[in-house]
Amino acid sequence: MMLRNAKILVCYLALFLFLQSCVAKQTTVTVTASIPPSTATPAPTATMTPLPMAVWVNGEGILLSEYQAELQRLEAAQTEMNITQTPEERQKRVLDDLVAQTLLAQAASAGGYQVTEDDIQQRVERLAERMGGAQQLTEWMAQNGYTEESFRLALRRAMAAAWQKEQIMASIPSALEQIHAQQILVFDADLAQQIYNQLQGGADFAALRWLYDPQTGGELGWFPRGYLTRSEIESAVFNLQPGQYTPVVQTDFGYHIVFVVQREAQHPLTADARRVLQQKALEEWIAKRRTESEINILVE
User: Parallel, antiparallel, or unpaired: how do β-strands 60-63 and 295-297 relate?
Assistant: unpaired
**33 vs 179 pLDDT, higher one:** 179
Tell me if 160 sits within 8 A of 154, measured CB to CB.
Answer: no
177-268 has which CATH code?
3.10.50.40
Bridge partners for 182 per DSSP: 219, 259
Distance of CA 279 to the CA centre of its chain: 9
Bridge partners for 255 per DSSP: 186, 250
Task: Report the alpha-carbon angle 129-158-289, nearest 5.
Answer: 170
The three-class DSSP label of residue 221 is: strand
User: In Å, what is the CA distance from 31 to each residue of 25, 36, 37, 204?
Assistant: 10, 10, 11, 102
Q: How many whole angstroms separate alpha carbon 45 and alpha carbon 292?
A: 38
Q: How many whole angstroms separate alpha carbon 254 and alpha carbon 251?
A: 5
Say whether pLDDT at 17 is over 80.
Answer: no
Task: Report the alpha-carbon angle 277-279-282, nearest 5.
Answer: 110
Q: What is the pLDDT of residues 201-242, one digit of tens each?
A: 999 999 999 999 999 999 999 999 999 998 999 999 999 999
Q: How many whole angstroms separate alpha carbon 266 and alpha carbon 57?
A: 40
Nearest CA among 104, 128, 117 for reference residue 152: 117
Looking at residue 147, its pLDDT comes to: 87
Tell me if 166 sits within 8 A of 174, measured CB to CB.
Answer: no
Classify domain 53-174+269-295 at the CATH class level: mainly alpha
Residues with Cβ within 8 Å of 260's Cβ and at least 6 positions away in sequence, in order, are 179, 180, 181, 237, 240, 241, 242, 243, 244, 245
Nearest CA among 167, 161, 55 for reference residue 103: 161
Q: What is the pLDDT of residues 148-199, one digit of tens each?
A: 888 998 999 999 999 999 999 999 999 999 999 999 999 999 999 999 999 9
The three-class DSSP label of residue 176 is: strand
Pure H helices in the chain: 2-33, 64-80, 87-110, 117-131, 134-143, 148-170, 189-200, 205-212, 231-237, 271-292
Average pLDDT value for residue range 61-68 = 91
pTM across the whole model: 0.77
Q: What is the pLDDT of residues 231-283, one digit of tens each?
A: 999 999 999 999 999 999 999 999 999 999 999 999 999 999 999 999 999 99
Looking at residue 149, its pLDDT comes to: 87
Q: How many whole angstroms separate alpha carbon 200 and alpha carbon 192?
A: 12
Q: What is the pLDDT of residues 92-131, one digit of tens each?
A: 999 999 999 999 999 999 999 999 999 999 999 999 999 9
User: Parallel, antiparallel, or unpaired: how do β-strands 53-57 and 175-186 relate?
Assistant: unpaired
Q: Among positive and negative, which fits the CA dihedral 292, 294, 296, 297?
A: negative
